[in-house]
Structure 1
Amino acid sequence: MARPVWAGNLSFGLVSLPVGLYTATDSHTIHFHQLQRGTSDRIRNRRVNERTGEEVQLDEIVKGYDTGDEYVLVEPSELDDIAPGRSQSLEIAGFVDLAEVDPIFFDKTYYLGPSGKEYGKVYSLLEQALAKAGKAGIATFVMRQHEYLVALKAEKGLLTLHTLHWADEIRDPKKEIDALPGKAKASEQELTMAEQLIGAMSMDWDPEQFHDTFQEKVAALIEAKRAGESVEKAEPAAEPTGAVDLMEALRASLERAGSPRATRGKASTSRRATASSQAAPKKQPAKKRIRSAPKEDLTGLTKADLYKKAAAAHVPGRSHMSRDDLVKALISTRV
């Protein structure tokens, strides 16, 4: 089991609940070591005194704030001394409707768990009450010498904590982007076609349909270089659509995606065909026996090879699996 990255008391009103904070997400980025070109020599980062050039141990380093003419030194223990609630308190200031929190404020997600089974009732009570009310608890707390603004939510039977950006951390887009269109206005026909395209491309949200294809290509690149093979390069990015070509681009996009009218026509045809088949059922041909191919021995494959096969089989969660887990998952897909 994972260890909590923070532990303390969650309180709302006079109710207090000891909790642990657990990282909810992970990254499946392939990590590279830094090497000197032409060698296999590792490059390491060191903490070096810029005056003497000598390496400095971590316990000899203190924080210094540059005031311009001098440094003000601050010890880590001094930061802990001034932390609100001694870094152990997560007190809810109030509850807000989830729809009121703009998505731009959300940063990172954590799971919250009770610190013991004896606190399960209080934990479950808060989770159920939040879920029924459709609200999020807003609080602040200190972790690793940083204060965070957070939103506490109920999600699928557990409590989640989402760190939020402070209001003064949100940049004004009008100050950041020079090329905003301002009063540029699309024609009614362009707007109608754009709406039709959105309708034709609408779908249900299913995150399992998407996976990190670049990470898979990096793994394939590494394996190809090991084997002395070449890898096909990606296609160049599409050219920007100019205002003159906008209508033609919209029209071609609708044809490719299938306009709502065409979709409805196909659905009507399908329904008529279904009704016809129900009216005059046909005798179904006997199913042909399929001879299975010999099962491949996976135990001798590298992890990169196993990962490519897992990607082709759309094995969920493959990016977090060990080599043995990949073998088991691929075997289970054959059953």
Structure 2
Amino acid sequence: MARPVWAGNLSFGLVSLPVGLYTATDSHTFHFHQLQRGTSDRIRNRRVNERTGKEVELEDIVKGFDTGDEYVLVEPKELDEIAPGRSRSLEIAGFVDLAEVDPIFFDKTYYLGPRGSEYGKVYSLLEQALAKAGKAGIATFVMHQHEYLVALKSENGLLTLHTLHWADEIRDPKKEIDTLPGKAKASEKELMMAEQLINAMSMTWDPEEFHDTFQEKVAALIEAKKVGETMEKAEPAAEPTGVVDLMEALRASVERAGSPKATGGKATASEKGSGSAKTTGKPPAKKRVRSTPKEDLSGLSKADLYKEAAAANLPGRSQMTRDDLVKALTRA
């Protein structure tokens, strides 16, 4: 079981609940070591005194704030001492409608769990009340020497905590982007065609339909380089659509989105309206990739087998041996 990244007391009104905070998400990021080119020698980052060039131990390092004329030194324990209670307290200031919190404020998600089965009733009470009211609790708390603004929500029978950006951290887009279109207006025909394209490409949100294809390609690249082979380069990015070509691009996009080939054989938007076919509202069904016949697989390298496995979307392929890949592709 995972260990909480923070533990303290959640309070709303005079009700207090001991809770633990757990990370809710993982990352697909590949972690590479730094090596000196031409060798297998690792490159290490060290804490070095820039004046003497000597390495400094972690316990001998303090924080220093540069005021311009001098450094103001702050010990780590001094930061803890100025907020001793807040570092263990998560007090809800009030409750707001979820729709009132703009998505740009949301940052990272955590799970909240009670610290002991004896607190299950209080935990469940708050979770059910939030779900029924459709509201989120707004609070602030200190974790790892940083204060966070958070929203406490009920999701799928448990409490989740979402860190929020502070208001002064949200940048003004008009100050950041000098190429905003301003009063540029689309024509009625262009707007109507864009709406048709949106309708033709509408689908039901299902996160399981999407996966990290770049991570898979990185894994395939590593497998290919292990056996001394190369991978095909990706297609170049599409050229920007010019104003003159906009209407034609929209029309072609609508036709493409509505074609049986583009939708995996599903009905188009016009067919849906006429009742000639049924649609599920989900993304186009993925076509099954036919694997190479068994007698041909034996002559493929592991890198090629991995490419076939990635194309067939076989689960667990990154941990498979060459023989495992042959067997899995044959079964597919």
TM-score normalised over the length of structure 1: 0.82
Q: Contact between 2:153 and 2:161, CA under 8 Å: does it hold in 1?
A: yes
The answer to whether residue 216 in structure 2 is matched with residue 210 in structure 1 is no
Which runs of structure 2 are paired with 1:310-329 in the superposition (5 Å)?
A: 312-313=312-313, 315=315
After superposition, the C-alpha distances for 1:252-296 in whole angstroms (9 at most, x for unaligned) are 10010018x953336747459xxxxxxxxxxxxxxxxxxxx98xx
CA distance in 1, matches of 2:143, 2:45: 26
CA distance in 1, matches of 2:171, 2:104: 10
CA distance in 2, matches of 1:153, 1:267: 38
CA distance in 1, matches of 2:80, 2:206: 43
Q: Contact between 2:227 and 2:303, CA under 8 Å: does it hold in 1?
A: no
Q: Contact between 1:84 and 1:142, CA under 8 Å: does it hold in 2?
A: no
CA distance in 1, matches of 2:219, 2:9: 43
- One-letter identity of the residue aligned with 1:151: A
Q: Contact between 2:200 and 2:268, CA under 8 Å: does it hold in 1?
A: no
CA distance in 2, matches of 1:168, 1:18: 31
TM-score normalised over the length of structure 2: 0.83
Which runs of structure 2 are paired with 1:68-87 in the superposition (5 Å)?
A: 68-83=68-83, 85-87=85-87
Matching residue of 1:8: 8
Q: Contact between 1:216 and 1:308, CA under 8 Å: does it hold in 2?
A: no
SS of the residue corresponding to residue 20 of structure 2 reads strand
Q: Contact between 1:8 and 1:90, CA under 8 Å: does it hold in 2?
A: yes
Which runs of structure 2 are paired with 1:1-335 in the superposition (5 Å)?
A: 1-83=1-83, 85-258=85-258, 263-265=269-271, 268=274, 270=276, 309=309, 312-313=312-313, 315=315
In structure 2, do the counterparts of structure 1 residues 61 and 214 end up closer, same or farther at CA, with 3 Å as the change threshold?
same
Root-mean-square deviation (CA), in Å?
2.9
CA distance in 2, matches of 1:45, 1:304: 37
CA distance in 1, matches of 2:311, 2:115: 37
- One-letter identity of the residue aligned with 2:18: P
In structure 2, do the counterparts of structure 1 residues 216 and 205 end up closer, same or farther at CA, with 3 Å as the change threshold?
same
Q: State the number of aligned residues.
A: 300
Matching residue of 1:281: none
Shift of 1:39: 1.1
CA distance in 1, matches of 2:272, 2:246: 27
Q: Contact between 1:106 and 1:162, CA under 8 Å: does it hold in 2?
A: yes
CA distance in 2, matches of 1:28, 1:304: 23
In structure 2, do the counterparts of structure 1 residues 116 and 48 end up closer, same or farther at CA, with 3 Å as the change threshold?
same
Shift of 1:309: 3.6
In structure 2, do the counterparts of structure 1 residues 271 and 170 end up closer, same or farther at CA, with 3 Å as the change threshold?
closer
In structure 2, do the counterparts of structure 1 residues 207 and 25 end up closer, same or farther at CA, with 3 Å as the change threshold?
same
CA distance in 1, matches of 2:8, 2:73: 29
Greater mean alpha carbon deviation, residues 233-242 or residues 221-230? 221-230
Q: Contact between 1:219 and 1:304, CA under 8 Å: does it hold in 2?
A: no
Q: Contact between 2:86 and 2:141, CA under 8 Å: does it hold in 1?
A: no
Q: Contact between 1:303 and 1:323, CA under 8 Å: does it hold in 2?
A: no
SS of the residue corresponding to residue 223 of structure 1 reads helix
In structure 2, do the counterparts of structure 1 residues 235 and 304 end up closer, same or farther at CA, with 3 Å as the change threshold?
closer
